[in-house]
Amino acid sequence: MSDTDVVIRAEGLSKCYTINHAAKPGTIREAVGHNARSLWSRFRRRGGAASNEEFWALREIDFEIKQGEVVGIIGRNGAGKSTLLKILSRITEPTKGRIRLRGRLASLLEVGTGFHPELTGRDNIYLNGAILGMTRVEIARKFDEIVAFAEVDRFLDTPVKRYSSGMYVRLAFAVAAHLEPEILIVDEVLAVGDAEFQRKCLGKMEQVAGHGRTVLFVSHNIAAVQRLCSRGIYLQQGRIVAQGASHEVIDRYLRDTSSPSGKSRWNYARRSPLIEVENVELLVNGGRQNSVPAGATATFRVRYRCPAPEKLPEGLECSFIVYGQGQKLVNFWSNAGRGRSFPIASSGVISCTVPEWPFRTMPMTLQLHLNYRFDNLVDLPDALAFDSADCDRFGTGTVPHITEGILLLPHQWGES
């Protein structure tokens, strides 16, 4: 009776957002500026004006999840993961297709949804619990457990606005961790808190999964997905490109993101017959990764082949350019400063090591330039896509909010 095991079945699930180009639909004055009929159509449904563009965040998604499975949903930013979770959590409706769900579902799209800064820890446990779908009785029953897990017992009657961000996150996760739904949906919540707390959260997730509950887990933390999930679903541009055993799906994902080895995939802005790029890799603390936490040692490495090294007697200059948040963040250029050209063999490796990676959480791309004297031989704009990640660099148990700046830099204070 395999059919009775299926707790989530999605069929032809699609979600379309309308992007309005000409006028932001946010003010009625602009709506009136059209004509009364268009205004009426705006009231009736989204859009109606001519200049709307459709954006399909999800297209024809089909999958089945059986009871007790722990499924990791992976994909790059914008692949449709969050949209899928939002539809499953009933926050937004699909445009087409349907989902059948069996069992009580709770979703955790962020920790601390609905926390009110003026209320005490105790009040917020109740409030947040109710928002996540627990009953008052349930919360009361688990109250002590939640407090113990969060390690905030001394501050229970302090307004949470006075909490450190670490305490805040611990409390918020603790409430969520004590939900007991049959299906749990978790989005990237493990990306918060310090390393020790993250380990604790992972442990709790394992425990939840161990109790035969179905868990859907979205994360950029591939290691966590690998550890927790038995199955994986890999989304790319709103479509499922792979699903199945998690290690296979993860392998596929890593192949796609960290080193596009199939050379046909490279999208050269310029290439030269003199030099051929074999692969470009990111190493974090010595191991190949597609995510680098702030403070870690990051190495960019390009492996090349040169059919005729004698044609490049003066050696190559190499430049790794890092982009994030839509701008050029840094250019590591071998010829800057002391200047360096690398002598060329028929094949070899050039690497650039950043001892303390300074950037906070954001998706990044790496551009590779290989120059010979004044000529640009290779320009590879999307040599590598990777993520930079936050971590508790200074061991304070807190990470400042990303709006406080995109860098985590070592620094010293003094007074005199």
Partner 1 sequence: MPELIIEASRTEAHYWRDLWRYRELLGFLAWRDIKVRYQQTVLGAAWALIQPVATIAIFTFVFGRLAKMPSGGVPYVLLVMVGQLAWQLFANAFGGASGSLVGSAHLISKIYFPRLIIPLSTLAVALVDFCIVLALFAGMSAWFGNLPTWRALLLPAFILLALLLALGAGLSLAALTVKFRDFRIVLPFVLQVGVFLTPVGYRTDFLPNWRDLLALNPMTGVVEGFRWCLLAADQDFYWPSFFSSIVWTVILVVTGLWYFRRTERLFADVI
Across the beta sheet with 214-218, the strand order is: 105-108, 183-187, 214-218, 70-74, 231-236, 239-245
3-state secondary structure of 252: helix
Task: Give the orientation angle of helix 136-150 with respect to helix 121-131, to 10 degrees.
Answer: 130
**To which residue do tokens 């982009």 refer?**
323
Q: Which pair of tokens denotes residue 69?
A: 């499975």
Position 86 contacts partner 1 (CB under 8 A): yes
Q: Which pair of tokens denotes residue 97?
A: 């297709």
Position 78 contacts partner 1 (CB under 8 A): no
Q: Which pair of tokens denotes residue 66?
A: 């059986």
Position 21 contacts partner 1 (CB under 8 A): no
**Distance, CA of 165 to CA of 78 (rounded, Å):** 27
Position 303 contacts partner 1 (CB under 8 A): no
Position 398 contacts partner 1 (CB under 8 A): no
Q: Kindly write down the DSSP assignment for every residue of 184-221, as one continuous string.
A: EEEESGGGSS-HHHHHHHHHHHHHHHHTT-EEEEE-S-
Q: How far is the CB of 18 from partner 1 (least distance, A)?
A: 9
Position 94 contacts partner 1 (CB under 8 A): yes
Task: Give the orientation angle of helix 121-131 with respect to helix 165-177, to 10 degrees.
Answer: 40
Position 177 contacts partner 1 (CB under 8 A): no
Tell me which stretch binds partner 1 (CB under 8 A): 94-102, 195-203, 374-382, 383-391. Answer: 94-102
Taken in order 327, 330, 332, 333, the sign of the CA dihedral is: positive
Number of residues that bind partner 1 (CB under 8 A): 46
User: Are 105 and 216 spatial neighbours (Cβ–Cβ below 8 Å)?
Assistant: no
Position 104 contacts partner 1 (CB under 8 A): yes
**To which residue do tokens 């082949």 refer?**
305
**CA neighbours within 13 Å on the CB side: how many for 67?**
13
Tell me which stretch binds partner 1 (CB under 8 A): 26-34, 144-152, 219-227, 248-256. Answer: 26-34
Nearer to partner 1, 121 or 295 (CB): 121
Tell me which stretch binds partner 1 (CB under 8 A): 88-96, 232-240, 390-398, 399-407. Answer: 88-96
**x-or-dash pattern for partner 1, window 133-172, by CB under 8 A?**
--xx----------------------x-------------
Nearer to partner 1, 85 or 201 (CB): 85
DSSP-assigned beta bridge partners for residue 324: 327, 364
Residue from 49, 127, 241, 354 in contact with partner 1 (CB under 8 A): 127
- Please state, in angstroms and as integers, the Cα–Cα distance from residue 242 to each residue in 61, 74, 247, following that order: 11, 10, 11
**x-or-dash pattern for partner 1, window 228-247, by CB under 8 A?**
--------------------
Integer-rounded Cα radius of gyration of the chain: 25
Residue from 118, 157, 310, 415 in contact with partner 1 (CB under 8 A): 118
Tell me which stretch binds partner 1 (CB under 8 A): 119-127, 200-208, 290-298, 321-329. Answer: 119-127
Position 66 contacts partner 1 (CB under 8 A): no
Position 373 contacts partner 1 (CB under 8 A): no
Position 29 contacts partner 1 (CB under 8 A): yes
Residues contributing to the site for partner 1 (CB under 8 A)? 17, 25-29, 31, 46, 86-105, 107, 109-110, 113-114, 116, 118-119, 123, 126-127, 130-132, 135-136, 159, 182
